[in-house]
Amino acid sequence: MKKIIGISLVVALLTSCSGVSLPGGSKSEKIEVQKNLLTGLPGSNNEIIVVKIDDTHQAQPQTGIEDADVVYIEQVEGGATRIAAVYSSKYPEVVGPVRSARISDMEIFAQYGKFGFAYSGSQHKLLPVITAANLFNMSAEHFGYYEPYFRDDTRYAPVNLYLHPNILLEKAHAKDIYFEKADKSGWIFGSAASGGRKVLGVDFSWPAVKYGADWDKVSKKWLIRQNGEPKMAKSGIQLGADTLVVQLVSITDSEYGDKYGGVTPHVATIGTGKALIFRNGKVFDAIWNRPTATETTTWKDATGADIPFATGQTWIALVDKEREPKVIEPEMPSDAASPATK
């Protein structure tokens, strides 16, 4: 009798686990592994936090960018750049240095739903726009410059403000504020689309900053360069994208500016335009489309088919459509010369 009971328990345990073969060759249903919608990797779709990060030479090396699901590079005053890091699958212990919001942020990130927006502050004129946007203002300006924010005494202002994302969430939840969880993205994940061409890398730029990326066969990433140097994280690794998107957009002057008299650009991410998608050592010509602020940006080829992204971290560089990126092609072997030159 004990033997029969023991066999029955084993069978019961096996039938509760999907994908496990049972006596006689039958199988139960497979367990569905939850995947993060922004990375395509196994993991949870947690609340979305967007953090604005300084991208000047004085701010480097930056902290926490390697843990973001999506990284945006956008143009600010003087042709400089600033980074916006989107977190959902996990939150690093520290992110920074944190800097101020810009008018384009509300448009760019409206496609992610009602997110937690973490930034240092903003000009007074921009505050009504931020207040009216579909987001939770979680800025240091709103909290005060203490937890979840803190100053790094080894740096000087304005590149010494940092954030503890997990404490930010705790503070928000204590006030019954819950950000929207990742529930959509404009891209799909899967095997690389047919077509595309093998490339070594790409160079792209803004008026005051040069960026680039090189395909690394070992890490299977597009390793990021900034102004001719490897873009390093505070952790000591070179930042790299599993999928790199160079999105060509319209960048024009806005009615806003900084305290030094610089004009703030408006980066137009609603509409349609061209893009280059880099994954797995290849580049794909793409058309991006986003009809309204609340709709996600889609990425398709000339036939209207989705161009799948590689799983992992995605970088999206919002580059002026007048500044064409330079794709770095492999050198043609000498024995590949045309018959006329042989």
The mean pLDDT of the chain is 89
Please state the pTM of the whole predicted model: 0.88
Dump strand ranges (E) for the chain: 49-54, 70-75, 81-87, 115-118, 135-137, 149-151, 161-163, 197-198, 201-206, 209-216, 221-226, 229-230, 240-241, 243-257, 263-268, 271-279, 282-290, 298-300, 314-320, 326-328
| DSSP letter, residue 280 | T
Instruction: Quick: pLDDT tens for 182-216.
Output: 998 899 999 998 889 999 999 999 999 999 999 99
22 token code pair: 């049972």
| DSSP letter, residue 103 | H
HSE value, Cβ hemisphere, 13 Å, CA-based, for 119: 24
SS3 295: coil
Cα 315–45–179 angle (5° rounding)?
95
Other Cβ atoms within 10 Å of 171 Cβ, number: 15
Residue 340's pLDDT band (cuts 50, 70, 90): very low
Instruction: Quick: pLDDT tens for 266-306.
Output: 999 999 999 999 999 999 999 999 999 999 999 999 999 99
Q: Name the percent of the chain lying above pLDDT 90.
A: 81
Instruction: Quick: pLDDT tens for 47-103.
Output: 999 999 999 999 999 999 999 999 999 999 999 999 999 999 999 999 999 999 999
Is the pLDDT at 9 greater than 70, yes or no? no
* Amino acid (one-letter) located at 314: T
Is the pLDDT at 24 greater than 90, yes or no? no
Pairwise CA distance, residues 266 & 256, whole Å? 9
Specify the pLDDT at position 30. 65
Is the pLDDT at 123 greater than 70, yes or no? yes
Specify the pLDDT at position 195. 87
Q: Name the percent of the chain lying above pLDDT 70.
A: 88
Question: What value does the mean pLDDT take over residues 229-247?
Answer: 98
Neighbouring-strand partners of residue 82? 54, 74
Q: Which domains does the chain have, with CATH numbers?
A: 49-174 (3.50.90.10), 197-328 (3.50.90.10)
* Amino acid (one-letter) located at 131: T
Question: What value does the mean pLDDT take over residues 224-253?
Answer: 98
Specify the pLDDT at position 333. 67
Specify the pLDDT at position 80. 97
Region class of 329: left (phi > 0), else alpha (psi between -120 and 50), else beta? beta
Q: Which of 264, 184, 226, 283 is nearest to 65 (CA)?
A: 226
Which long-range contacts link 17-20 to residues 24+ away (Cβ below 8 Å)? none
171 token code pair: 């503070």
Instruction: Quick: pLDDT tens for 304-330.
Output: 999 999 999 999 999 999 999 999 999
Pairwise CA distance, residues 153 & 301, whole Å? 49
Other Cβ atoms within 10 Å of 322 Cβ, number: 8
Contacts of 4 (CB under 8 A, 6+ apart): none
Q: What is the DSSP string of 204-263?
A: EEETTEEEEEEEETTTTEEEEEETTEE-BBTTSPBPEESEEEEEEEEEEEEEEE-TTSPE
Specify the pLDDT at position 243. 98
Specify the pLDDT at position 261. 82
Is the pLDDT at 259 greater than 90, yes or no? no
Start-to-end C-alpha separation, the chain = 86
